[in-house]
Structure 1
Amino acid sequence: MKKFKFAFLLAVISFTVNTSLVAQQQQQQQQQQKKKKSSTVVSGAQDREYWANLLYKISSPIILNLANGTLKQHMPVEVPPGQKTDFFKKVTYLEAVGRTMAGVAPWLALPDDDTKEGEMRKKLRIALLKGIANAVDPANPDYLNFRTESQPIVDAAYMAQAFLRAPKALWEPLDAVTKGRIAEEFMALRTRTGAYNNWLLFAGINEAFLMSIGKQTDPVRIEFAKRKIIEWYQGDGWYSDGPSFSMDYYNSYVIHPMLVDFFKVLSDKKRVNVEAYDTAVKRMIRYSEFSERIIGPDGTYPPMGRSVTYRTAAFQALGQVALMDKLPSGISPAQVRCGVTAVMHRMFDQYNNFDKDGWLVLGFCGAQPGIADGYTSTGSLYMATLGFLPLGLPADHKFWTDPAADWTSKKAWSAQPFKKDYHVEY
């Protein structure tokens, strides 16, 4: 019996050791494969293909369904735990459309070509033009709500921003009836007000858009937005979101990009001097330095503050500066491309951010409904498209053609030289 027990014990030990060795070997092989994969040099063309395919995946359910008059029929309305969908159904569809439009506008503004990407762009642009007409047609099942609740002030503003970003692609081709209906819907927004914070910019850019198409504007809304946002500048590239400062990504989600686009219209129409516009641009450029630096060596960034479910919208300001060819000195286009690409891979490759039908789900990196704010629903999530603005740069731009480069934190954490950071005054 003792011999049997001893033999059994030896067998158990042998099995345990062998199992452990096999597990260690498998782990080593996986690590080697990851290391090999991570060391593979990826070209800018491959990065662009990844961006384009991902943006198409995110935006096409919104745009194609809107074109078919089936957005309300097919888009789910996911809300934070404990919330009811009744209110959100009044506003979530315009949220999805306006935010998606603002994100894809620079990309859709590129000329047609016979590449796979060109075909995707053309398909989305044609569908979006049809969808915009449906969105303001009272007889269409996808007629969107501009007329009740305060939330439409926000998402009309993103639609306005899309028209301002890509007028030749998204505004000029529309028929006269649709243009007239859009103007009427925007003017109807004046019956309501919003929060005393970044919402002032929404009201302001809605009026600026009306100004850009030759319609009568409300000068008070424009002036109030202009003055208060400037008053809320805190320095070193940061605005407070209202009277008190919040440490979050609203400087990128809204404030810098929308203020610059707002001031561009006002400057073109001689409503502010060009120096005011230039200052807004300089402040956005400074803020973009922080945006680039928060990207960790592994492609992560801090999930801090409100609205982290907006995902890649945290890099809208950085993307807009890249799109404008105004990146700060010491930050190359390639390092921005590689840094933001690392974020996208980290966020979208390892965890599923989509439901079975391809709609975004509540979360930051994967399905995390518990982190959604009380005002968030499915449509809100399409702010993520705002992180893709550099796709508006042509494929032969240095942003896409320069060799891969490490971004600041990757340099800093691998003993490479990197640019010092200093406070700026403007």
Structure 2
Amino acid sequence: MTGLQDRAWLAAYADRLLDAVRPYASPSGSLVTLPGTPGGYGTAVDGLEGFARTFLLAGFRLAGEDGEDPAGLAERYAAGLAAGVDPGHPERWTRPEEHGQAKVEAASLALILDLTRPWVWDRLAPSTQEQTVEYLGSVVGDDGYPDNNWVWFRIVVETFLRSVGGPFSADDVARDLAAHDRFRRPGGWFADGPERSFDHYAGWALHLYPVLWARMAGAADVAAAAGDDLAVRSAADRKHLARYLDDALALVGADGSPLLQGRSLTYRFAAAAPFWAGAVAGVGRPGLLREAATRIVRHFAERGVPGDDGLLTLGWHHPWRPIAQRYSGTGSPYWASKGLLGLALPATHEVWTAPAEPLPVERGDVLTVAAAPGWAVSATRDDGIVRVVNHGTDHAVPGDAVGDSPLYARLGYSTATSPLLDREAWVSPVDQSVVLLDAAGAATHRAGFEPLELAPAEPATGVVLGSVADAHWLEEDAAAPDHGSGRPGVATPAGRVTTVSVVRGAWEVRLVRVEHPADAAAALRVGGWAAGPGHASTLVPLLGDVAPVRGEAVHDDATPLAGPTTTPWLRYAPVPAGWVGVGVHLGRAPESADLPRPRLDLTTDLTIDQAVVTWPDGEQTTATLP
């Protein structure tokens, strides 16, 4: 398919989304309150989100068509904005000083008012302009912004305010830019705050907003007032983005699926945003960026998103309410609009005219390390699946004794599976886990683990990563709000668990050693992938003096993917004194009982342990163990 055909298809898809929400707008158009159970912040915030997040998409359509507007989007959203910012209107918006979520939505308003300035802002009545400035201006000097991607919401709002003669704080912008710089990590990555929070926010927020901000009217003056040089900063941002895209492109499955990892997954094809950001910034190969972005959107479109009513729901391929965090409401899924940012670029842009290029997983097997999140990335061309084995991400900091978030702390994530996300999964990890079990069967958590610096594999036919955790049982605080991170609570030490992963192709060889178990009656359990229909998860014991008991955990509706899941596990009791080795495999179903498996040999002397993995194709990887 050519780029112009892609663009026409995406435009039609966007127009369907915008048309479908019209019946749910309030009489003034200021609130777009979509059907469904209200979000944790209430109906008023839901309606504001529904307006602001669809305004993002409407703005992209207007900008990309240079103001041509057969659907009357500019008039429609201008009328809604006029009512929303009017403090005396019965359909006025929740204000930023009244609820923190309004600070998020204010950024979308400001971004699109800047992007569509000739067709929306310049045509607003002076009184509406004044009320808009007053509404947005309440963020100036507000100290209530979390230390994460939210800092960009204030930067964007204050930049727009300054461009229209509104209030502005150079100190605010300087502080927020400094926070953004603190989030910078090696290899092009950002952490979403001070914790090891690596997820899609790195791309759809922390890389996206700097690119768009640099193109806002007066951004250079705002940066200068804050003691910064926009040209220098933007050059560094583009370099960082280019490196990130190398990893991000390798994380897209051949079927267009993003990695099912991290919070806010209901934003779905917002995962395409960093590829469009690359196109806007002029970094990366435009044909490849377009292919990745459009493939992600098509992945969902081909699986029934949106539904027959044209609406985006809380879910993934279909409505699935448990995917929501506390902040998720009926309008929240429309942050997916970011995944259609490419429509803001005209049809003459090189991202639309360049020939399409295959994704990395389509060109051949991929085996690499994303150092910042601590991921071994292994993609296999024959099945198109991307897998990551995780020894660096947990949405915590080293030494924390909190619960494992299934969205962050599991040992593996993929484009073909979802972590189990039912209530029990937050309390007692099963899938992609190494846990100690007490007499009642309660499983430990590993959040707060320490990544290990391991000797490079020899020869370079595999990737070796590892971590050591002070495993702990947790009596959780069930009243804590769900923002995607692990549950707080009272922790009880269980033992020190070292896990080393040797990765190649569809296999992980997982080596485990337990030291100082606190409960002599505890058992060790190793869990595999939670595989749904069409895929199979396999666990095979490769090393250990104790023969394990095999079992499976079957769940009917524990993930946002359709169908039941089966998670194999191996249980060792008593806990072995030395290393245990397990082969962990994810592939397409059906899997034969004669699936070729790796061989694991352990050599030990007085100073060093070495694991030699012989893969099914005869290649070998040697790992030096801690």
Give the shorter-chain TM-score range.
0.7 to 0.9
Q: Tell me what 1:130 maps to.
A: 79
Q: Tell me what 1:275 maps to.
A: 232
Worse-superposed segment, 310-319 or 279-288: 279-288
Report how far residue 111 of structure 1 moved.
4.2
Report how far residue 53 of structure 1 moved.
1.3
2:100 matches 1:153 = no
Cα distance change, pair 263–400 in 1 and its aligned pair in 2 (3 A): closer
| Aligned-residue identity in percent | 26
Cα distance change, pair 72–160 in 1 and its aligned pair in 2 (3 A): closer
Report how far residue 340 of structure 1 moved.
2.2
Q: Which has the higher helix share?
A: 1
Q: Tell me what 1:400 maps to.
A: 352
Cα distance change, pair 62–219 in 1 and its aligned pair in 2 (3 A): farther
Report how far residue 317 of structure 1 moved.
2.0
What amino acid sits opposite 1:108 in the alignment?
L
Whole-Å Cα distance in 2 between the matches of residues 275 and 220 of structure 1?
19
Whole-Å Cα distance in 1 between the matches of residues 32 and 181 of structure 2?
42
Whole-Å Cα distance in 2 between the matches of residues 293 and 142 of structure 1?
45
Q: Tell me what 1:101 maps to.
A: 55
Whole-Å Cα distance in 2 between the matches of residues 51 and 279 of structure 1?
31
What amino acid sits opposite 1:172 in the alignment?
D
Q: Tell me what 2:196 maps to.
A: 245
Worse-superposed segment, 87-96 or 221-230: 87-96
Report how far residue 88 of structure 1 moved.
2.1
Q: Tell me what 2:163 maps to.
A: 212
Cα distance change, pair 179–368 in 1 and its aligned pair in 2 (3 A): same
Report how far residue 179 of structure 1 moved.
1.0
| 2:264 paired residue among 286, 299, 307 | 307
| 1:293 paired residue among 236, 245, 250 | 250
Could you tell me whether the CA contact under 8 Å between 2:49 and 2:105 is conserved in 1?
yes
Name structure 2 gaps, 5 residues minimum. 366-380, 383-626
Could you tell me whether the CA contact under 8 Å between 2:183 and 2:194 is conserved in 1?
yes
What amino acid sits opposite 2:262 in the alignment?
G
Could you tell me whether the CA contact under 8 Å between 2:30 and 2:83 is conserved in 1?
no
Whole-Å Cα distance in 2 between the matches of residues 225 and 243 of structure 1?
14
Q: Which has the higher strand share?
A: 2
Report how far residue 101 of structure 1 moved.
2.5
Cα distance change, pair 336–232 in 1 and its aligned pair in 2 (3 A): closer
Q: Deviations over 1:177-208 (max 9, x none)?
A: 11111100012235661322222222232222
Whole-Å Cα distance in 2 between the matches of residues 277 and 143 of structure 1?
37
| 2:338 paired residue among 383, 386, 393 | 386
Alignment size in residue pairs: 359
Report how far residue 363 of structure 1 moved.
0.8
Q: Tell me what 1:234 maps to.
A: 185
Report how far residue 130 of structure 1 moved.
2.4
Q: Tell me what 2:44 maps to.
A: 90
Q: Tell me what 1:335 maps to.
A: 288
Report how far residue 244 of structure 1 moved.
1.5
Whole-Å Cα distance in 1 between the matches of residues 175 and 152 of structure 2?
9
Q: Secondary structure at the match of 1:378?
A: coil
Cα distance change, pair 198–396 in 1 and its aligned pair in 2 (3 A): closer
Whole-Å Cα distance in 2 between the matches of residues 408 and 157 of structure 1?
34
Q: Tell me what 1:259 maps to.
A: 210
Cα distance change, pair 103–254 in 1 and its aligned pair in 2 (3 A): farther
Cα distance change, pair 153–234 in 1 and its aligned pair in 2 (3 A): same
What amino acid sits opposite 1:136 in the alignment?
V
Could you tell me whether the CA contact under 8 Å between 1:161 and 1:258 is conserved in 2?
no
Whole-Å Cα distance in 1 between the matches of residues 187 and 277 of structure 2?
18
Cα distance change, pair 86–399 in 1 and its aligned pair in 2 (3 A): closer
Whole-Å Cα distance in 1 between the matches of residues 265 and 40 of structure 2?
23
Worse-superposed segment, 233-242 or 189-198: 189-198
What amino acid sits opposite 1:200 in the alignment?
V
Q: Tell me what 1:202 maps to.
A: 153
Q: Deviations over 1:249-282 (max 9, x none)?
A: 1112221222334455442443321212321232
Report how far residue 63 of structure 1 moved.
6.2
Cα distance change, pair 103–286 in 1 and its aligned pair in 2 (3 A): farther
Worse-superposed segment, 65-74 or 170-179: 65-74
Cα distance change, pair 170–291 in 1 and its aligned pair in 2 (3 A): farther
2:33 matches 1:47 = no
Report how far residue 361 of structure 1 moved.
0.8
Worse-superposed segment, 245-254 or 285-294: 285-294
Q: Tell me what 1:411 maps to.
A: 363
Q: Secondary structure at the match of 1:55?
A: helix
Worse-superposed segment, 245-254 or 166-175: 166-175
The structure showing larger relative contact order (alpha-carbon pairs under 8 Å, at least 6 residues apart) is 1
Whole-Å Cα distance in 1 between the matches of residues 119 and 273 of structure 2?
21
Report how far residue 405 of structure 1 moved.
2.9
Q: Tell me what 1:351 maps to.
A: 304
What amino acid sits opposite 1:206 in the alignment?
V
| 1:221 paired residue among 165, 172, 177 | 172
Cα distance change, pair 174–62 in 1 and its aligned pair in 2 (3 A): farther
Per the normalisation by structure 1, the TM-score is 0.76
What amino acid sits opposite 1:185 in the alignment?
Y
Q: Deviations over 1:199-230 (max 9, x none)?
A: 22222322222112222212332121011111
Cα distance change, pair 204–44 in 1 and its aligned pair in 2 (3 A): closer
Cα distance change, pair 71–174 in 1 and its aligned pair in 2 (3 A): closer
Could you tell me whether the CA contact under 8 Å between 2:62 and 2:69 is conserved in 1?
no
2:126 matches 1:170 = no
Report how far residue 65 of structure 1 moved.
5.5
Report how far residue 394 of structure 1 moved.
1.8
Q: Tell me what 1:367 maps to.
A: 319
What amino acid sits opposite 2:190 in the alignment?
Y
Whole-Å Cα distance in 1 between the matches of residues 213 and 305 of structure 2?
36
Q: Secondary structure at the match of 1:101?
A: helix
Q: Tell me what 1:28 maps to.
A: none
Worse-superposed segment, 129-138 or 45-54: 129-138
Whole-Å Cα distance in 2 between the matches of residues 341 and 222 of structure 1?
34
Whole-Å Cα distance in 1 between the matches of residues 33 and 181 of structure 2?
41
Report how far residue 383 of structure 1 moved.
0.4
Report how far residue 129 of structure 1 moved.
2.3
Q: Secondary structure at the match of 1:233?
A: coil
Whole-Å Cα distance in 1 between the matches of residues 203 and 52 of structure 2?
17
Could you tell me whether the CA contact under 8 Å between 2:272 and 2:296 is conserved in 1?
no
Whole-Å Cα distance in 2 between the matches of residues 358 and 297 of structure 1?
26
Cα distance change, pair 111–339 in 1 and its aligned pair in 2 (3 A): closer
